[in-house]
A and B are shown apart, each in its own frame.
Chain A
Amino acid sequence: MSTLLDVRDLVKTFGEGETATHVLRGLSLTLDTGELAALLGPSGSGKSTLLTILGTLMKPTSGRYRMLGQDLVAADDAALTEFRNRHIGFVFQFHNLLPDFTALENVIFPTAVREGRETSAARRRGRELLVRMGLEDRVDFATTKLSGGQKQRVAVARALMNTPQLVLADEPTGNLDRASARQVMELISEINRDEVTTFLISTHDEKIAACCRRQIAVADGLVTG
């Protein structure tokens, strides 16, 4: 297996002096292509912080971060935006979808925003992804009319739209019931297996973590297992 990303001695400190919060304290981690990994750890241990840094939405205070051979600490905002669009998909816990758009429009956003318009090829792929998520009868629904589980499945479809190498999911099942959570996780495992997409999923749920082939434990800003 080839290395997808590699972080070394990652430090993230919020604030300065007396009030400084040291969230990541020299964390190192390597993910290989095709991994399905769970990120575990107590609340406040820095899981979300790590995911946002890996997603290039935030820069570390210090440390190295390389993915697909690129130095993502040195890159500027425009380069990172382009990189995210092509190589990284996100699934968040809340505020996932654009409320004024349909399920399909949400799914194809990453492609449309890059190409400047919604092409029929993009629509076709978006529809396929929604079918795969079991949402064939919800394609043109306004997202405000979807249930929580359906919304998260739309979000997973959108994260996969540009066939990224890495999908980062921050407690994707955090506010879903058991059945919906299991359905979302099954879809993720299926795609990970079929499309060789790497997933890193933060969760508090042992059952969810058990679905993943690797468990990464974080405590006090370091990987502990």
Chain B
Amino acid sequence: MLYGLKIALRYLTANKAQTALLVSGVAVGVFIFIFMSALIGGLAEFILSRTVGDISHVTIEAETPDPAVLVDAKGHLLVAVERGRLRTATLRDTETWTPLIEAIPDVRAVSPQITGAGFLARAAQVAQVSVTGLEPGRESAILDLEGYLVAGSARLGSGGIILGKNLADELDLSVGQVVRLQSSNGVSVVPTVGGIFQTGTGMLDRTSVYVSLPTARTLFGLPQGVTRLEIKLYDLNAADATALRIRGLTGLDAVPWTDGAEQLMEALNAQAQTGYFLKSFALITIVIGVASALLLSTYRRRPEIGIMRAMGARRGFVVFVFVTQGALVGLLGGVAGATLGYLALLPFPGRDEFRPGTLPMDITQGSYGLAIMLTVIGAILASILPARSAARVDPVTAIGQ
């Protein structure tokens, strides 16, 4: 079949301009395929990192026991204990669990936290805040405080507090100033502003304050245990599996971020579907282009095909020559398109540097190999029809023309 390859190559090089045009057409299709892959993949990456990049991927929360109730024989509710009156539920033994969870390969960081509500006051101004106690040294484990910092430091000393830019502006606070933080339990502390962050998310920037875990213990009257464990993963998409694993390992109720994120997942799915649709069109264009070009070529070469058949070329040989042409065009166009696609994606910022306002193209999600493979397969399929029609050429009429 080496000889068939030689003839296929000769036919392709005999009309260089036409072959170049055909290969460019295929390359454009592949380019679109790769561009779409990188864009859809990048968009998904971008949306995910925007929405869940800064939140816990697997969360273990202390179970608040159901309020105690007293019901009579007929089912009438007699007494109910108000939820807020109960002591805050806590997770115990976190010192035991934390290293175990940290040992799971996909886990990037574990952050034990104590959360609660409180008021932040400076002089006569008071703002309602949600307080999170973080373990010193793990301040940036879940929300990247370090990365969002606009003033001061992201390290939490025992008497420090880190708060959002909006809140700081509201209370006219700057680094080094002293504030009063009062918990819902009525306990007050007087920390110094150690750092100010700005995430761009209004809620966080206006209502969140971070203190050290010991400070939070004082505020919420929790000498031991924490109220929640937040876990960050390397792979967002592995949250379900990892949550299951943690549940199996610890018996704690580990909840993946995907619980309650159905709408987001649906949106991402719909986006991926659109991508498949567009990529299929790119492939169909390639197939039609290759098929029509080869059909034209078989028609033009009918007398030659007749001569070859008369000289003893089998039908299979003729099929091979034309299918090989298709495969070569697919391969050349595929590689050219993939190279162009890669080069075109190079100037776009990497996946960790996506900025709002620019296209979040992810060069690593170009599906280059897949694009080339599908193109070659498509081109081979496209050449089968012309090749078969070439093999059926009747030598007598072809030569007699």
Contact = CB atoms under 8 A, between A and B. Distances in A.
B396 interface: yes
A20 interface: no
A111 B308 CA distance: 12
Nearest to B6: A118
A98 to B, nearest CB: 5
B10 A57 contact: no
Interface string A14-53: 0000000000000000000000000000000000100010
A60 interface: no
A112 B304 contact: no
B3 A95 contact: no
Counting chain A CB atoms within 10 Å of each CB, which of B304, B315, B399 scores highest?
B399
A85 B312 contact: yes
Given A90-B311, A113-B317, A95 B6 contact: no
B307 interface: yes
A110 B311 contact: yes
B348 interface: no
Contact of A96 (B307, B317, B400): B307
A221 interface: no
Nearest to A155: B307
Interface string A162-194: 100000000000000000000000000000000
Contacts of A94: 399
Given A95-B303, A96-B307, A99-B304, A48 B400 contact: yes
A89 to B, nearest CB: 9
Contacts of A96: 307
A68 B373 CA distance: 49
A90 B10 CA distance: 23
Interface in B1-60: 1-4, 6, 10-11, 14
Counting chain B CB atoms within 10 Å of each CB, which of A58, A113, A116 scores highest?
A113
Interface residues of A, number: 33
A81 B312 contact: yes
Interface string B286-317: 00000000000000000110111111111101
Given A95-B306, A100-B10, A100-B14, A158 B2 contact: no
Nearest to B306: A95
Given A57-B396, A92-B399, A98 B308 contact: yes
A124 interface: no
Nearest to B311: A110
Contacts, number: 70
A149 interface: no
A225 to B, nearest CB: 27
A125 interface: no
Contacts of A57: 309-310, 395-396
Interface string A84-108: 1110001010111111110000000
B310 A84 contact: yes
A99 B303 CA distance: 10
A117 interface: yes
A84 to B, nearest CB: 5
Nearest to A51: B396
B161 to A, nearest CB: 82
A90 B400 contact: no
Contacts of A97: 307
A57 B317 CA distance: 17
Contacts of B312: 81-82, 84-86, 110, 113-114, 162
B201 interface: no
A142 to B, nearest CB: 10
Given A101-B10, A116-B2, A78 B396 contact: no
B125 interface: no
A81 B313 contact: yes
A77 interface: yes
A65 interface: no
Contacts of B396: 52, 57-58
A113 B308 contact: yes
B296 to A, nearest CB: 16
Contacts of B306: 95
Contact of B310 (A55, A117, A118): A55
B401 interface: yes
A116 B314 CA distance: 11
12 contacts: A48-B400, A57-B310, A94-B399, A95-B307, A95-B398, A95-B401, A99-B14, A109-B311, A113-B3, A113-B317, A114-B312, A117-B2
The 3 closest A-B pairs by CB, nearest first: A85-B312, A100-B14, A95-B303
Given A77-B315, A82-B312, 15 more contacts: A57-B396, A81-B312, A81-B314, A82-B314, A84-B310, A92-B307, A94-B399, A96-B307, A113-B3, A113-B308, A113-B317, A114-B312, A116-B3, A118-B6, A162-B312
